[in-house]
Amino acid sequence: MEFKVYDNAHDFERKIEPILLEKEDIFSLFFGVLQAIKAGNYENPFMATIEEDGKILALFQMTPPHPLNLIFVDEIRLEEIIEFFIKNMLEHDIDFRSIISLKPWAYKVAEKWEIKTDMTHRLLMDQGLYRLNKVNETLEHSSGNWRYAEENDSSLIEKWFSLFEIDTGMPISPIEHVKKRVAMFLKEREVFLWEDKGKIVSMMKKSRPTKSGVTVTLVFTPKEERKNGYARALVAAVSRELLKDFDFCVLYTDLMNPTSNKIYREIGYERIADSVHLGFDKGE
């Protein structure tokens, strides 16, 4: 087996694209982030494969400080491949603080990583991955309408972005970083808002387009506007719009939040996989 690190995202994509396209919905995070790496949106990305006789056995991707994303292709040799992965990460001194992967893979890696290092793992988020092919047209329509976010909405979106991070337990981004990201979102026309009686009451964004799909993310309604069906109405309406250009939409949900999982199922999203985000801490 060979552990191969790639510096060029285009070379990396040429090598791994057939694998990603086989399960484009399940591997949408990996595929979508790769498009952003190609566009130059990340500094110092890490891209690697484990190969044998020209065959890909596993693939890895990281855009620090985000988690290391792991895909294992050969399930039969999973134990052996994970051991080889850990050996090479330690030998190459490649630092990572968290991983994201399908649940069985992530826990297997965490278990072996703990044995080889003095680190312990903790659950950061238990995630369900959902796919939508068609919006449920029997949904009741909440009052209001959706629109694209505009530049003069930036201060509100910045505030809600930070509140979203708090709600989801994500690391809190510095305000300058938030401003920069929101400006990019608006430039790319990626943020959508729900307005009711002239007041903005909910937001979401599209992200990480792949060949056939697109991700729905950053779904947020402030506490005082919740329980009015605004998020469901917004996600349903914009998902319907996105499906004019894509075959499917995907989104990740926090499985510890039964409300969000319920509203997405009502829209027509179906759970296709379980993913997990695990962090690693130095042992005492």
Q: Which CATH architecture has domain 135-267?
A: 3-Layer(aba) Sandwich (3.40)
Angle 129-27-214 (CA atoms, 0-180°, nearest 5)? 70
pLDDT tens per residue across span 242-263: 999 999 999 999 888 877 789 9
Task: Write down the CATH number for the domain with range 2-127+278-282.
Answer: 3.40.630.30
Contacts of 201 (CB under 8 A, 6+ apart): 144, 194, 195, 221, 222, 225, 228, 230
User: Which of 249, 244, 260, 255 minimizes the C-alpha distance to 215?
Assistant: 249
pLDDT tier at 4 (50, 70, 90 boundaries)? very high
Q: Name the token pair of 267.
A: 């829209």
Over residues 155-179, the pLDDT tens digits come to 999 999 999 988 887 778 899 999 9
Q: What is the mean pLDDT of the chain?
A: 94
Distance in angstroms (rounded) separating the CA atoms of residues 267 and 252: 14
Q: Is the pLDDT of residue 140 over 60?
A: yes
Instruction: Please tell me the distance from the alpha carbon of residue 66 to that of residue 98, in angstroms, as a whole number.
Output: 8
Band the pLDDT of 284: cuts 50, 70, 90: low
Q: How far is CA 231 from CA 96, 155, 192, in A?
A: 34, 20, 11
**Cut 0.85: pTM above it:** yes
**HSE (CB half, 13 Å, CA atoms) of 269?**
26
Query: CB under 8 Å to 213, separation ≥6 — which residues?
Result: 24, 25, 28, 131, 246, 247, 248, 249, 250
For residue 118, name the pLDDT band (cuts at 50, 70, 90): confident
pLDDT category of residue 283 using cuts at 50, 70 and 90: low
9-13: long-range contacts (C-beta < 8 A, 24 or more apart)?
Answer: 9/34, 9/37, 9/38, 9/45, 9/47, 10/38, 12/47, 12/49, 13/38
Q: Is the pLDDT of residue 194 over 80?
A: yes
The runs of H, that is alpha helices, within 117-229 are: 154-168, 175-187
Average pLDDT of span 26-43:
94
- The domain spans of the chain are 2-127+278-282, 135-267
